[in-house]
Amino acid sequence: MTKKRLPLSKVYGLLEPGPVLLLTTAHRGSRNIMPMSWHSMLEFEPPLVACVVSARNYSHKLLRASRHCVLNIPTVELVKQVVACGNCSGAQIDKFSKFGLSVSPGVQVAAPLLDDCFASLECRVADTGLVRRYELFVLEVVAAWSDPKVKEPRTLHHRGYGKFMVAGESIKLPSKMR
């Protein structure tokens, strides 16, 4: 076997599914942005998404209080802002103005949509049963927006410690999935 034992601390870099998202939240006059890559689909329709939002993050507080958020999907052009948003806390600064990110209002939620992301998913918190144990929120997507001009989004996929894979070529094979 050519494989070598890997420290367990490096496992996440192999499994993180991506794409990296920018989670936006808002509550009573406060708003915030946080990059997030620990998420997973749970159901097709209505779409349910499981997300880990650490209780150390200001976003956790806003998400818990407001029970709404937006999952914005950035492409490689935004990578500097993505990393910058992950290296500071909205408890101290307004990341929207600091990083020049413009927004549009959500239609069904108070959290804003990031204009520079090609897709934005408005969500409500559907289940908090695993928040205390795993900081895991189950979100239901209640409205979805995507720029039809972006055909092959070059999304970011986190490989750990500031390293990203950028989505590239797509291939399509016959599928029986409905």
Ligand X SMILES: Cc1cc2nc3c(=O)[nH]c(=O)nc-3n(C[C@H](O)[C@H](O)[C@H](O)COP(=O)(O)O)c2cc1C
Binding site for ligand X (CB under 6 A): 20, 32, 34-38, 52-54, 57-59, 83, 86, 88-91, 158
Give whichever of 20 and 101 is closer to ligand X, judged by the CB atom.
20
Beta-sheet pairing, 163-166 with 156-160: antiparallel
In the complex, the smallest distance separating the C-beta of residue 105 from ligand X, rounded to whole angstroms, is 20
CB closer to ligand X out of 37 and 75 = 37
With respect to ligand X, which residue has the nearer C-beta, 2 or 87? 87
- Of 78 and 109, which CB lies nearer to ligand X in the complex structure? 78
**Cis, bond preceding 19 (omega within 30 deg of 0):** yes
Q: How far is the CB of 174 from ligand X (least distance, A)?
A: 34
CA distances to 21, 27, 134 from 160, in Å: 15, 30, 20
Smallest distance from ligand X to CB 70, Å: 14
Residue nearest to ligand X (CB): 86
CA distances from residue 118 to 64, 72, 73, 173 in whole angstroms, order as listed: 26, 8, 6, 25
Q: How far is the CB of 117 from ligand X (least distance, A)?
A: 14
Task: Return the number of the residue (32 or 120) whose C-beta is nearest ligand X.
Answer: 32
Rounded least distance, CB 108 to ligand X, Å: 22
